[in-house]
Amino acid sequence: MRILVVTATQAEVAPLVASLEPVPGTSSRLRSYTYERHAVDILTTGVGMVATATWCSGVFARERYDVALNGGLCGSFRPSLSPGTLVHVTTDRIGEFGAEDGDTFLSVQELQLLGDDEFPWTRGRLVNSAPPVNDALNQLPVGDAITVNTVHGNDATIAGAVERYNPHVESMEGAAFMYACLVHGVPFAQVRAVSNIVERRNRAAWKLRESIDALGAALLAIVDCAGREVRG
């Protein structure tokens, strides 16, 4: 099986990489490894939607993968999803995709610039309707996300996002990854580890190390499970 793991930063997948065997001669953005008998490429896109969409599409145009995994950290809108919790994001939206009209926000669909079900959108969302068959992935709680350019840290805008979208988590890359996978027809899964609660910026409450370790363990379990399923 050939697997692509997409991440914004190398730090987010460092625990996973530590369990892989490097293949010499790869680039700084796309690095190749092996895990048992399987090929695992790590694509480090940089932070944000533009970088993620661009680098993913470039790789998908050149390479073929059996599955793509997006691994990264996220903020949680739900107290039940505390730092260190893992989430399998199956629906995502771009939180700022639209226009302001005074105090009202109009989505791009409400502006009639994009249809609710215009590919690759489904009812105004990016939906992973057929995640990979994988026991390790299936054990993770499923969640709905928004992807943003500006991470929420203001009480009023947090309340607005909750009222508008009622998301479980937010990231800066997830929707771009899902969009690229849907367009290129690559089976995929977005896996996020909660590093913080979405609130006024409070780095003292973040649990980066615990979240990164949990993410690495989850990604390795998914890769390992995929390998066992192929052998079976």
Per residue in 164-187, pLDDT tens?
Answer: 999 999 999 999 999 999 999 999
> In the CATH scheme, what is the code of domain 2-231?
3.40.50.1580
What tokens were used for 106? 């109009």
pLDDT at 230 over 50: no
pLDDT at 150 over 50: yes
User: For residue 3, what are the contacts with CB-CB under 8 A and spacing of at least 6?
Assistant: 38, 39, 40, 41, 65, 66, 67, 68, 69, 223, 226
**Predicted model pTM:** 0.94
Question: How far is 22 from 34, CA to CA, in rounded Å?
Answer: 6
Residue 97's DSSP bridge partners are none
Nearest to 81 by CA among 15, 161, 144: 144
Q: Which pLDDT tens digit goes with each residue over 33-85?
A: 999 889 999 999 999 999 999 999 999 999 999 999 999 999 999 999 999 99
Residue 193's DSSP bridge partners are 73, 86
Query: CA 63 from chain center: how many Å?
Result: 20
- In three state form, how does the secondary structure of 108-154 look? CCCCCCCCCCCCCEECCEEECCCCCCCHHHHCCCEEEEEECCCCCCC
